[in-house]
């Protein structure tokens, strides 16, 4: 009789462990998804800002055609791969970031542009969007790390493999240019 109770007790404890771990995994996976959606929102916002920026800058920057084209091309390319996985996307977005920072670097040569209210407002938006992209990436990677740890570490890895939780991909920056904060000096 006692043995039966012990066996039942062990089964009960196992069930509770399974239940708690499973729910924890689901919560983490949703957090990862949610964080990814956040990155997406910010990247889209950047796509939307770039045409406005081009429109404002065009009139002033008559000698910077290449820089402007590079930004537009990078933007279009990034938008095309926007449905791809984290790895491919990170590369395209990295290109866009560095093209943008090159553009903002040459603004220095155009004092008229720097005095333009419209441009200043756009520049604040763009800077903030860049920050938001990197903060959402930071949050996404933190979430992925926690989720992956949970799917790979003992003992929750048993529950994860039984119920089909797979590790997620980090959103790594693949470009050397982007990894170092762009050296833009405004004086």
The pattern of x and - marking residues 11 through 50 that bind another protein according to CB under 8 A reads: --------------------x---x--x---x--------
Phi/psi at 42 (5° precision): -70, -40
Residues whose CB falls within 8 Å of the CB of residue 58, separated by 6 or more in sequence, listed in order = 68
Q: Is residue 176 involved in binding another protein (CB under 8 A)?
A: no
When the beta carbons of 5 and 180 are compared against another protein, the nearer one is 180
CA proximity to 179, closest of 81, 103, 90: 90
Q: Is residue 130 involved in binding another protein (CB under 8 A)?
A: yes
- Residue 78 CA to residue 93 CA, distance in Å, equals 6
Shortest CB 130 distance to another protein, Å: 4
Shortest CB 127 distance to another protein, Å: 4
The answer to whether 174 and 91 are in contact (CB under 8 A) is yes
Residue identified by tokens 């797979």 is 166
The answer to whether the peptide bond before residue 18 is cis (omega within 30 degrees of 0) is no
Of positions 47, 106, 114, 169, contacts another protein by CB under 8 A: 114
Report the interface residues with another protein, using CB under 8 A: 31, 35, 38, 42, 101, 104, 114, 121, 123-125, 127-128, 130-132, 134-136, 138-139, 142-143, 146, 180-186
């Amino acid at each position: 009789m006692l043995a039966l109770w012990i066996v039942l007790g062990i089964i009960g404890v196992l069930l509770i462990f399974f239940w708690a771990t499973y729910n924890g995994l689901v919560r983490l996976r949703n957090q990862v998804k949610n964080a990814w959606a956040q990155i997406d929102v910010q990247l889209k916002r950047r796509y939307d800002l770039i045409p406005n920026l081009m429109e404002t800058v065009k009139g002033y920057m008559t000698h910077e055609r290449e820089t402007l084209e590079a930004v537009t091309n990078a933007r279009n390319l990034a938008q095309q791969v926007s449905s791809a996985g984290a790895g491919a996307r990170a590369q395209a977005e990295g290109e866009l970031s560095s093209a943008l920072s090159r553009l903002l670097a040459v603004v220095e040569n155009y004092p008229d542009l720097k005095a333009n209210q419209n441009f200043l407002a756009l520049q604040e938006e763009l800077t903030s969007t860049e920050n938001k992209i990197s903060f959402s990436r930071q949050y996404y990677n933190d979430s992925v790390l926690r989720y992956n740890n949970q799917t790979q570490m003992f003992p929750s890895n048993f529950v994860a493999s039984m119920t089909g939780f797979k590790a997620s991909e980090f959103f790594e920056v693949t470009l050397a240019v982007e990894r170092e904060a762009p050296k833009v000096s405004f004086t």
